[in-house]
Amino acid sequence: MIAFMIRRITQALIVIIIISIIGFAIKQSVGDPLRELLGISVSAEEREEFREKLGLNDPWYVQYGRFLSDATHGDLGTSMFYKRPATEVILEKAPATLELVLVSSILIIVLSVPLGVFSAIRPNSLLSRFLMGSSIVGVSIPVFLTAIMLVYIFSIKLGWLPSYGRGDVVMIGGWGTGLLTLDGWKHILMPSVALSSIMLPLFIRLIRSEMMEVLESEYIKYAWAKGLTHKRVWFIHAFKNTLLPVITVGGVQLGVTIAFTILTETVFQWQGLGFMFMEAVERSDAPLLVAYLMFVGIVMVGVNTIVDMIYGLINPTIRISGGK
């Protein structure tokens, strides 16, 4: 298990280095740092002098080394719009996005597991047919449309829920959380529903099809032949095997969910990373874009590594092959 973890972490580091190369490339090709630093009223010789001083004439690998060493110290450059370190801006905006992703992930897990399992063991029931039909509809409607529909119904027509912002935020250390106030929950409800509107139907369908396949297998037939109860066959024998592929896909999809926050946050004016990213694009704030890319990349790699380790805990064959 330890060998497996070490190997997995090494892989994660390699991926992070690749992401950093891409980030560095963007930084190199978007905008000219001298122009931003000095403006236009500086002579060509002085520019050249500054260029030398800042190390911009060094070969790319020296510059990349410097970028990497700065990045490991948490320095990803200064946001041009906020006039503050990009890392600081990212860390300030991250809690809003992470909470949004957390709430919608919980929503997805809590709903998709029972619904997926139910529609696998009772494929002909009315509820299963309804779920299968409506999940197609759910997958087909874009997130922003769902979001706008939610706002129209619950904010404009019914007036039950606020249509934008995070509401009351409580600071705990450096983390601003909206999950401790009723107002915060009212604000997070619609964005998280909108965010989960694509993944939830996908997960119900995934769990259903995996579980149906498992239920057809020989070892399930054997479990029946041993005289086990429905409960034991479904929830111990079949469900554990269903989980394996679902966890793999789930890890990747969690990352995709972070990407989807860009749309959701824009519609709900949610002050998170996605919203910040859209603003940074509009303002061509290159350092902030690179910082966002690095941050999301690292979070995704981290999540996937953790998911792989959970997978290793459930699947006994992985543990062994990693141990040898």
The residue ranges that bind other proteins (CB under 8 A) are: 217-219, 221-229, 232, 236-237, 240-241, 244, 314-317, 320
The distance of closest approach from Cβ of residue 312 to other proteins in the complex, given in angstroms and rounded to an integer, is 12
User: In whole angstroms, what is the distance from residue 294 CA to residue 71 CA?
Assistant: 9
Residue number with CB closer to other proteins (241 or 261): 241
The distance of closest approach from Cβ of residue 230 to other proteins in the complex, given in angstroms and rounded to an integer, is 9
The distance of closest approach from Cβ of residue 82 to other proteins in the complex, given in angstroms and rounded to an integer, is 50
125 Ramachandran zone, left/alpha/beta (phi>0; psi -120 to 50): beta
Residue number with CB closer to other proteins (35 or 221): 221
202 Ramachandran zone, left/alpha/beta (phi>0; psi -120 to 50): alpha
User: In whole angstroms, what is the distance from residue 216 CA to residue 289 CA?
Assistant: 48
Residue number with CB closer to other proteins (42 or 228): 228
Residue number with CB closer to other proteins (15 or 228): 228
The distance of closest approach from Cβ of residue 237 to other proteins in the complex, given in angstroms and rounded to an integer, is 5
Residue number with CB closer to other proteins (136 or 236): 236
Taking residue 226's Cβ as centre, other Cβ atoms within 10 Å add up to 9
The distance of closest approach from Cβ of residue 247 to other proteins in the complex, given in angstroms and rounded to an integer, is 12
Q: Exposed, middle or buried: residue 279 (CB in 10 Å: 0-12, 13-18, 19+)?
A: middle
The distance of closest approach from Cβ of residue 236 to other proteins in the complex, given in angstroms and rounded to an integer, is 7
Residue number with CB closer to other proteins (11 or 315): 315
Taking residue 134's Cβ as centre, other Cβ atoms within 10 Å add up to 12
Residue number with CB closer to other proteins (142 or 323): 323
The distance of closest approach from Cβ of residue 9 to other proteins in the complex, given in angstroms and rounded to an integer, is 24
Residue number with CB closer to other proteins (43 or 317): 317
The distance of closest approach from Cβ of residue 248 to other proteins in the complex, given in angstroms and rounded to an integer, is 14
